[in-house]
Amino acid sequence: MSMPQSPVQWRQVKAWVFDLDGTLLDSRPDILAAASDTLVDYGHAPLPAGYQLPNLFGTAGELVRDVFVERGYPAPTDLVRLRAEFEAHYAAQNPSQARLYDGVPQWLDWARQQGVALGICTNKLERLARDGMQQLDIAEGFGAITGSDTYGVGKPSPEPLLRTLVQLGVAPQETLFFGDTHADAACAQAAGVRFAWHSVGYGDARVQALPQVLRYAGYGELLHQVGAQQPALSL
């Protein structure tokens, strides 16, 4: 059952914080390849073509552990090592197959022109987040980029999002958090931040049971919304 939504008053929003994978960029091919290479490191067969990852919302160690479990292999107990091996494979992919969702550059450009503060709150390592944003040429103008290692905790804990807001110098009620999974929605709810759901990302039905002020399938429709409110905007 979907949570009811109320219209977003864009003039009241001073900061936009984004999840990264499944929200601004589709990195599923890179994640899949790195998980497959990690399985091979442990003596298992690579993942089959078309494999659907069971966990695209947790930290890297949790993500790969759940692949082991789904494939029927003993789950490694050393998540630090597991995460490090996955992240090494992820970082080594050249070229990356990650791509921005349609309309992302235009949406971020609009925000920069209006003086909206921009931040990233992701469950991947901060270094990998920064590298990926540089490669895709979207890093400019972000006042805060936090990963699961920045403060030692990942979503759905509200802590990384709240600390991102401290870096940006904004209050929770002035912020809109864009994400795609229930971990993002739960993080926003616990932090007292309004949530915008990217419904074509990596989330599942669990996100629909959590509060959201906006559901969108593409950034073009968001540009249309802010364009319609443009005369009234006072950011």
Q: Are residues 52 and 166 in the same domain?
A: no
CB-count burial class (<10 Å; 0-12, 13-18, 19+) for 135:
middle
53 lies in a domain?
yes
5 lies in a domain?
no
164 lies in a domain?
yes
Give the tens place of pLDDT for each residue, 212-223. Answer: 999 999 999 899
Q: Are residues 110 and 83 in the same domain?
A: no
Q: What stretches of 68-126 adopt beta strand conformation (E)?
A: 99-100, 117-121
Q: Residue 74: is its pLDDT beyond 80?
A: yes
Q: Are residues 109 and 143 in the same domain?
A: yes
3-state secondary structure of 16: strand
Stated pTM of the model: 0.89
Give the tens place of pLDDT for each residue, 139-159. Answer: 999 999 999 999 999 999 999
The predicted pLDDT at position 5 comes to 52
Q: Are residues 59 and 153 in the same domain?
A: no
Give the tens place of pLDDT for each residue, 168-209. Answer: 999 999 999 999 999 999 999 999 999 999 999 999 999 999
Q: Are residues 141 and 224 in the same domain?
A: yes
3-state secondary structure of 73: coil
Report the chain's mean pLDDT, rounded to a whole number. 91
Q: Which two tokens stand for residue 138?
A: 């979207």
Query: Domain end: 63, 92, 121, which one?
Result: 92
Give the tens place of pLDDT for each residue, 79-121. Answer: 889 999 999 999 998 888 999 999 999 999 999 999 999 999 9
Q: Are residues 20 and 118 in the same domain?
A: yes
Exposure string (b/e) for 157-195, b if CB count within 10 Å is 16 or more? bbbbbbbbbeebebebebbbbbbbbbbbbbbbbebebbb
Total structural domains within the chain? 2
Q: Which residues contact 64 (CB under 8 A, 6 or more apart)?
A: 35, 38, 82, 83, 86
4 lies in a domain?
no
Q: Are residues 103 and 211 in the same domain?
A: yes
Query: Domain end: 92, 107, 135, which one?
Result: 92
Q: Are residues 166 and 63 in the same domain?
A: no
Model confidence at 233, in pLDDT bands (50, 70, 90)?
very low
Query: Domain end: 92, 120, 147, which one?
Result: 92
Q: Are residues 71 and 136 in the same domain?
A: no
Which residue range is the domain that position 200 belongs to?
10-26+99-232
Residues designated catalytic: 19
2 lies in a domain?
no
Q: Are residues 65 and 124 in the same domain?
A: no
Q: Are residues 113 and 184 in the same domain?
A: yes
CA distance 32 to 47: 8
